[in-house]
Amino acid sequence: MRELTEQKATVLPATFWRHLRRILPPDGLLTKPTQVAVYECDGLPVYRARPLAVALPRTRAEVGLVLALCSRYGVPVVARGAGTGLSGGALPHAHGIVLSLARLNRILAIDPDNRTARLEPGVRNSAVSEAAAPYGLFYAPDPSSQIACTIGGNVAENAGGVHCLKYGLTTHNVLAVRFFTADGVLHEVGGVTGEAPFDLLALLVGSEGLLGVVVEVTVRLVPKPPATVALLAAFRSLAEAAASVSAVIGEGLVPAGLELMDALALSAAQDYTGIPYPPDSQAVVLAEVDGDLATIELDVAHVRRLLLGHGAFAIEEARSEEDRRRLWLGRKSAFPAVGRLAPDYYCMDGTIPRSALVAVLAEIGERSRRYGLPVANVFHAGDGNLHPLILYDAKIPGELERVEELGAEILRLCLAYGGTISGEHGVGVEKLDGMCAQFTAAELATFHALKSAFDPHNLLNPGKAVPTPARCVEPGGMHVHEGRMPFSSLERF
């Protein structure tokens, strides 16, 4: 475990605290160590820090006032949704406050005629689809954490999910956002079609709480498809399964979801759910096809042909809601299932071109053997988004460091194949070194310049998502690309 920052006694004037208390509801400010302890980390608990306080406003106006006050006193602010982030994005700042948006959790409007929903940031992801269901509509991006994570957190991370292959990521499904800049000024970007003179919406989505605090989100709702068919194809090798995914994509088919699980993930899921996979399965591919009744038959037949052609030795098909749920159960519970295989696991996240799946999975397997650390793969294969889960025991001295080394190797592999160090979990504090490998100093400087345009005093989630130039030249981190000069221009710092 890393205590990122020591608790230096930061002394803020009593007037700051008096004002803060006045802004917030009576139960809206947590300062006691026992109260703030639960906010010390997010879904990546290897990083922990204790904030000075946690503010729990109930209204947009309160959020604005808290920000204006913190800006006046130069207090860092870390926005937080449900804290399910997997890269330490919501890790508190030891000299700042956590601004929880969890209580701003009202669905402000569902407009079935125009197929939109207007939401406060603390609304849980799955609550949106639940509220839209009576109108035959749903909100498409469905991270596996959807029962807990918030829309504000989804916007901040550009969250994806199983159905993003067909329906797009958060950035494709958000039409407008209201947000406060660090100075407490409210802005509105986007509109009915999401278009605007500058696509600030694109910039905000995935900005990890560095550019603004999102207080209202308008999302697109989509009609539920008339029919859905799920296929589970079992393979005797991981390579065959991966090749079948590349083939389905290569044919130009766009299933609603296309996921892959390897042998280790399968045995974990099987033990966890009690639902057996076909005997001798070394990997399975889950394909979900949806659409109108006529198209779906054509697509299912086509996908089946491709899976069989690449060595699937058994295919199960599910059409009813209940049967589909059963087929998906192992995939949906794969993380907690894998969690039972070892005391700890580290969830990696990177993306590669989909044609490189076979090669990259083989290389990951080779490295796993070399490090003697088991790796389970269960991931969004259709869009090339890998989630290798590295199993380890944190109590063994030095083990976490080796896991991080292996993780860094896997990310370098993603880059070498033309991919990226993060597909959906964000950079947070976890991947700052990886950013040095993916971007040049000038590109990182541009990110800092954009950050300054929104937050000139660097108060919103400082230190996350974009590394400082100094960090990128430190030895030990992932190194800057060969031939890319680290100091070509730092003029805008």
Partner 1 sequence: MTHDDTATLASAVRAAYERQTPLEVVGGGTRRHLGRAPDGQPLSLASHSGIVEYEPSGFVVTVRAGTTLHDLDAALSREGQTLMADIPRFSAASTIGGAVAAGFTGPGRPYTGALRDSVLGARVISGTGQVLAFGGKVLKNVAGFDVSRLMVGAFGTLGVILDVSVRVSRCPEDVQVVAFEMSWPEARECLKRWEGDLPLTGAFYHRGVLSVRLAGREARVAAAVRELGGEKGRPEAFTELRDLAFDFFQAPGSLWRLLVPPDSPWDPEETLIDWAGAQRFWVTLALAQEVREKAAQYGGQAVRVWGPDRSEGPWAAPPAATMALLTRVKTALDPRAILNRGRLYRDW
Ligand X SMILES: Cc1cc2nc3c(=O)[nH]c(=O)nc-3n(C[C@H](O)[C@H](O)[C@H](O)COP(=O)(O)OP(=O)(O)OC[C@H]3O[C@@H](n4cnc5c(N)ncnc54)[C@H](O)[C@@H]3O)c2cc1C
Q: Which residues of the chain form contacts with ligand X (CB under 6 A)?
A: 42-43, 78-86, 89-90, 101, 121, 143-145, 149-150, 152-154, 156-157, 159-161, 208-209, 213-214, 335, 424-425, 461
Q: Which does 379 bind (CB under 5 to 8 A by kind): ligand X, partner 1, none?
A: none
Both structure tokens of 404:
């991080």
Q: Which is nearer to partner 1, 197 or 372 (CB)?
A: 197
Q: Which is nearer to partner 1, 144 or 351 (CB)?
A: 351
Q: How many CB atoms lie within 10 A of CB 67?
A: 28
**Residues written for the chain:** 493
Both structure tokens of 476:
């030990």
Q: Which does 150 bind (CB under 5 to 8 A by kind): ligand X, partner 1, none?
A: ligand X
Helix/strand/coil for 248 = helix
Q: Taking CB under 8 A as the rule, does residue 309 contact partner 1?
A: no
Residue whose token pair is 């030095």: 398
Q: How far is CA 353 from CA 107, 164, 345, 372, in A?
A: 37, 16, 25, 27
Taking the complex as a whole, the smallest distance from the CB of residue 369 to partner 1 amounts, in Å, to: 26
Q: Which is nearer to ligand X, 276 or 343 (CB)?
A: 343
Taking the complex as a whole, the smallest distance from the CB of residue 446 to partner 1 amounts, in Å, to: 6
- Please, what sign has the CA dihedral across residues 244, 248, 254, 255? negative
Q: Do residues 465 and 472 touch, judged by C-beta distance below 8 A?
A: no
Q: Do residues 161 and 146 touch, judged by C-beta distance below 8 A?
A: yes
Q: Which is nearer to ligand X, 85 or 384 (CB)?
A: 85
Q: Which is nearer to partner 1, 227 or 341 (CB)?
A: 227
Q: Taking CB under 8 A as the rule, does residue 298 contact partner 1?
A: yes
Q: Which is nearer to ligand X, 67 or 441 (CB)?
A: 67
Instruction: Determine the Cα–Cα distance for residues 186 and 281; give it in Å rounded to an integer.
Output: 54
Both structure tokens of 116:
């939109």
Instruction: Determine the Cα–Cα distance for residues 415 and 383; give it in Å rounded to an integer.
Output: 16
Q: How far is CA 427 from CA 93, 232, 251, 438, in A?
A: 16, 32, 33, 12
Q: How far is CA 185 from CA 48, 70, 147, 355, in A?
A: 30, 13, 31, 45
Instruction: Determine the Cα–Cα distance for residues 262 and 356; give it in Å rounded to an integer.
Output: 16
Q: Which is nearer to partner 1, 337 or 441 (CB)?
A: 441
Taking the complex as a whole, the smallest distance from the CB of residue 471 to partner 1 amounts, in Å, to: 15
E-strand stretches of 61-154: 77-80, 97-100, 107-111, 116-119, 137-138
Q: Which does 34 bind (CB under 5 to 8 A by kind): ligand X, partner 1, none?
A: none
CA 199 to chain centre: 21
319 φ/ψ angles, rounded to the nearest 5 degrees: -115, -40
Please select the residue that binds partner 1; options are 31, 420, 458, 468, rule is CB under 8 A.
420
Q: Which is nearer to partner 1, 281 or 440 (CB)?
A: 440
Taking the complex as a whole, the smallest distance from the CB of residue 295 to ligand X amounts, in Å, to: 26
Of residues 40-79, those binding partner 1 (CB under 8 A): none
Identify the CA nearest to 410 among candidates 362, 356, 367, 452. 367
Q: Which does 209 bind (CB under 5 to 8 A by kind): partner 1, ligand X, none?
A: ligand X
Q: Taking CB under 8 A as the rule, does residue 249 contact partner 1?
A: yes
Of residues 188-207, those binding partner 1 (CB under 8 A): 188-189, 191-200, 202-203, 205-207
Q: Which is nearer to partner 1, 354 or 367 (CB)?
A: 354
Site string for partner 1, 206-245 (x = CB under 8 A): xx---x----------xxxxx-------------------
Please select the residue that binds partner 1; options are 80, 93, 124, 380, rule is CB under 8 A.
380
DSSP annotation string for 458-475? --BSTTSSS--HHHHHST
Both structure tokens of 102:
């969890």
Q: Which does 60 bind (CB under 5 to 8 A by kind): ligand X, partner 1, none?
A: none
Give the residues across from 135 on adjacent strands: none
Q: Which region, judged by CB under 8 A, interacts with partner 1, from 21-29, 123-131, 322-330, 423-431?
A: 423-431
Of residues 80-119, those binding partner 1 (CB under 8 A): 111, 113-116
Q: What one-letter code names the amino acid at 394?
A: A
- Residue 211: DSSP 8-state: S
Q: How many CB atoms lie within 10 A of CB 300?
A: 20
* Residues contacting 399, CB < 8 A, separation 6+: 392, 393
Q: What one-letter code names the amino acid at 263?
A: A
Of residues 350-379, those binding partner 1 (CB under 8 A): 351-355
Q: Which does 440 bind (CB under 5 to 8 A by kind): ligand X, partner 1, none?
A: partner 1
| Half-sphere exposure at residue 185, Cβ-oriented, CA atoms within 13 angstroms | 6
Q: Which is nearer to ligand X, 144 or 281 (CB)?
A: 144
Please select the residue that binds partner 1; options are 102, 155, 164, 360, rule is CB under 8 A.
164
Taking the complex as a whole, the smallest distance from the CB of residue 208 to ligand X amounts, in Å, to: 4
Q: Taking CB under 8 A as the rule, does residue 477 contact partner 1?
A: no
Q: Taking CB under 8 A as the rule, does residue 418 contact partner 1?
A: yes
Q: Which region, judged by CB under 8 A, interacts with partner 1, from 2-10, 45-53, 331-339, 413-421?
A: 413-421
